[in-house]
Structure 1
């Protein structure tokens, strides 16, 4: 699993898309934190909101564009191997669970690196490393990575996952906020399966997001173990 994780982790740093996304993440984190005092002086905030104002840029990017970024880099993490027939070689060297969970961990550690560096940039101005908000952010990224893996297992063609990933990446945040705050009973129940509902709370209910991610990974494995390579 370590070899598969390392392989996926290193591969995510290659390519212009990765460089652009990392640059956007770091730039937004740095400059939003740098000029957060300007925003806080122009908007009336509670004491808690003022304390967390330095993270607003990073959180906005992860909430609104995070799924799009994750899909953009990892939409084909499984089906690319199947499409290029390299999966036939991989399954002779490792179990399917090792392949799937190793790839997921590689994606997760890539985003862990990006988020840690972003929070370190923020800490230059905030003078602290907010472990609670960091944990919330990583729970969201975990959900997004698990969804990308599930999509890559369910849809056999990389081109289709790229198209669907772009659509979901743009629509899921909007739908998530709508479901979380909509009074419509036909829509409101869906909020329990979308992470935004749990992130609006200032407690540890965000841990439910990790459970949702685990369910998606188990579903992905159940499909993957029966799929021909």
Structure 2
């Protein structure tokens, strides 16, 4: 499992898409500190809680709006690439299907953890503080996105089709999630408890539920993969 996750981790850094995404994270982190320092310099009134959040606001928005798109765009073929190229048969003979799924998942999560941690460390240098709650909330969203991506890659066997769907889902997901969160329609509003945005609305520990939601998606992906012919 760890060999698979290590391989997937380093594979995630290859290619133009990964370089672009890493650059976006780093640039967002840098310019968010510059912009937030400018706001503070202008003596704009902020509450104590807003002052703590202002440095990490841009990164949080980036992950909320574009996190699913980035994750699926980069890793949509994390599983179906192996299935399409028939290399999964070699993996199945060497290790269990649980280890394959968990190894792939941990490798992708570790890549995004590294990108996120680097961004927050850059921000902490300028802000002289590390916003632990916002970091963990952002990490929980990325873990959820990775679980969704893995599930999509298991369900869709063709990388080309999964890439097309990943673009659609990546754009539609934050729009749908935001609509469900703000709607007053009782028939729809209950869906917010099944989606992650509801649990990062406040600076508290409700984000832990997102890890549970990601676990459910991962469990479904494992069940589907066990039934799939390799």
- Determine the C-alpha separation between the residues in 2 that align with 1:100 and 1:151: 13
Q: Which residue of 2 aligns with 1:78?
A: 79
Q: Which residue of 2 aligns with 1:3?
A: 3
2:211 paired with 1:223: no
Report the 3-state secondary structure (helix = DSSP H, G, I; strand = E; otherwise coil) of the residue aligned with 1:8: helix
1:44 CA displacement: 4.9
- Determine the C-alpha separation between the residues in 2 that align with 1:29 and 1:2: 30
Report the 3-state secondary structure (helix = DSSP H, G, I; strand = E; otherwise coil) of the residue aligned with 1:77: coil
Alignment map for 1:78-117 (pairs within 5 Å): 78-117=79-118
Q: Is the 8 A contact 2:28 2:58 kept in 1?
A: yes
Aligned residues: 229
- Determine the C-alpha separation between the residues in 2 that align with 1:166 and 1:152: 13
Superimposed CA distance per residue, residues 149-185 of structure 1 (whole angstroms, 9 cap, x where no aligned partner): 0111111111111111111111111111111111012
2:37 paired with 1:37: yes
Superimposed CA distance per residue, residues 17-55 of structure 1 (whole angstroms, 9 cap, x where no aligned partner): 000000011101111112213345486533211221000
CA, structure 1 residues 168+47, in 2 after alignment: closer, same or farther (shift >3 Å)?
Answer: same
- Determine the C-alpha separation between the residues in 2 that align with 1:39 and 1:163: 40
Q: Which moved more, 1:38-47 or 1:84-93?
A: 38-47
- Runs of 5+ in structure 2 lacking a partner? none
Alignment map for 1:61-210 (pairs within 5 Å): 61-210=62-211
- Determine the C-alpha separation between the residues in 2 that align with 1:45 and 1:181: 25
